[in-house]
Amino acid sequence: MTGEAWWLWIVAGVVLALVELAVPGYVFLGTALGAVILGSVLWADIWPAAWLEGSLANQLLFLAVVSLVVWLVLRRALGLRRGQVKIWDRDINED
Protein backbone atom coordinates (compact mmCIF):
# COMPACT_ATOMS: atom_id res chain seq x y z
CA MET A 1 0.00 0.00 0.00
CA THR A 2 1.55 3.26 -1.07
CA GLY A 3 0.79 6.88 -0.32
CA GLU A 4 -1.42 6.98 -3.39
CA ALA A 5 -3.95 4.84 -1.53
CA TRP A 6 -4.68 7.45 1.16
CA TRP A 7 -8.37 7.04 0.52
CA LEU A 8 -8.25 3.40 1.68
CA TRP A 9 -7.29 4.53 5.17
CA ILE A 10 -10.11 7.06 5.27
CA VAL A 11 -12.63 4.46 4.09
CA ALA A 12 -11.30 2.02 6.71
CA GLY A 13 -11.75 4.71 9.36
CA VAL A 14 -15.33 5.35 8.29
CA VAL A 15 -16.10 1.62 8.31
CA LEU A 16 -14.64 1.28 11.81
CA ALA A 17 -16.69 4.27 12.95
CA LEU A 18 -19.82 2.54 11.63
CA VAL A 19 -18.82 -0.64 13.48
CA GLU A 20 -18.51 1.51 16.61
CA LEU A 21 -22.21 2.34 16.28
CA ALA A 22 -23.01 -1.36 16.61
CA VAL A 23 -20.48 -2.04 19.38
CA PRO A 24 -20.71 0.70 22.01
CA GLY A 25 -17.96 1.46 24.47
CA TYR A 26 -15.42 3.35 22.37
CA VAL A 27 -13.77 0.11 21.28
CA PHE A 28 -13.19 0.97 17.62
CA LEU A 29 -13.41 4.75 17.77
CA GLY A 30 -9.71 5.31 18.52
CA THR A 31 -8.64 3.13 15.62
CA ALA A 32 -11.22 4.75 13.33
CA LEU A 33 -9.94 8.24 14.12
CA GLY A 34 -6.36 7.01 13.79
CA ALA A 35 -7.08 5.62 10.32
CA VAL A 36 -8.73 8.87 9.23
CA ILE A 37 -5.76 10.86 10.57
CA LEU A 38 -3.35 8.56 8.73
CA GLY A 39 -5.30 8.95 5.49
CA SER A 40 -5.39 12.71 5.96
CA VAL A 41 -1.63 12.88 6.55
CA LEU A 42 -0.97 10.86 3.40
CA TRP A 43 -3.42 12.98 1.38
CA ALA A 44 -2.09 16.34 2.63
CA ASP A 45 1.51 15.20 2.08
CA ILE A 46 2.74 16.79 5.31
CA TRP A 47 5.92 15.91 7.22
CA PRO A 48 5.52 12.22 8.15
CA ALA A 49 4.01 11.36 4.75
CA ALA A 50 7.43 10.84 3.16
CA TRP A 51 8.29 8.33 5.89
CA LEU A 52 4.88 6.68 5.69
CA GLU A 53 4.71 6.22 1.92
CA GLY A 54 7.60 3.77 2.01
CA SER A 55 6.01 0.74 3.61
CA LEU A 56 2.89 -0.71 5.12
CA ALA A 57 4.80 -1.45 8.33
CA ASN A 58 5.50 2.26 8.86
CA GLN A 59 1.85 3.07 8.22
CA LEU A 60 0.69 0.44 10.70
CA LEU A 61 3.13 1.73 13.32
CA PHE A 62 1.85 5.27 12.81
CA LEU A 63 -1.74 4.00 13.01
CA ALA A 64 -1.03 2.16 16.27
CA VAL A 65 0.63 5.15 17.94
CA VAL A 66 -2.01 7.66 16.82
CA SER A 67 -4.84 5.29 17.75
CA LEU A 68 -3.41 4.82 21.23
CA VAL A 69 -3.08 8.57 21.74
CA VAL A 70 -6.62 9.18 20.47
CA TRP A 71 -7.98 6.38 22.66
CA LEU A 72 -6.25 7.80 25.75
CA VAL A 73 -7.61 11.28 25.01
CA LEU A 74 -11.12 9.88 24.53
CA ARG A 75 -10.82 7.85 27.70
CA ARG A 76 -9.74 10.94 29.60
CA ALA A 77 -12.51 13.09 28.11
CA LEU A 78 -15.38 10.60 28.12
CA GLY A 79 -14.44 8.07 30.81
CA LEU A 80 -15.29 8.05 34.49
CA ARG A 81 -14.77 11.35 36.25
CA ARG A 82 -12.42 11.58 39.20
CA GLY A 83 -14.26 10.48 42.31
CA GLN A 84 -17.07 8.88 40.31
CA VAL A 85 -17.62 5.24 41.17
CA LYS A 86 -19.72 2.64 39.40
CA ILE A 87 -22.33 1.26 41.79
CA TRP A 88 -23.85 -2.11 41.04
CA ASP A 89 -27.45 -2.48 42.20
CA ARG A 90 -27.67 -6.22 41.74
CA ASP A 91 -25.45 -9.19 41.15
CA ILE A 92 -26.01 -11.18 37.96
CA ASN A 93 -25.50 -14.39 39.93
CA GLU A 94 -28.43 -13.74 42.28
CA ASP A 95 -31.25 -14.29 39.75
Residue 64 lies in a domain: yes
Number of domains in the chain: 1
Mean pLDDT check: name the lowest of 6-15, 43-52, 53-62, 76-85: 76-85
Classify residue 25 as left (phi > 0), alpha (psi -120 to 50) or beta: left
Residue 84 lies in a domain: no
Residue 83 lies in a domain: no
Residue 17 lies in a domain: yes
Residue 15 lies in a domain: yes
**Host domain of residue 26:** 3-78
Residue 74 lies in a domain: yes
Question: pLDDT of 3-51, one tens digit each?
Answer: 577 899 999 999 999 999 998 777 899 999 999 999 998 888 887 777 7
Question: Is the CB of residue 59 less than 8 Å from the CB of residue 38?
Answer: yes
Residue 90 lies in a domain: no
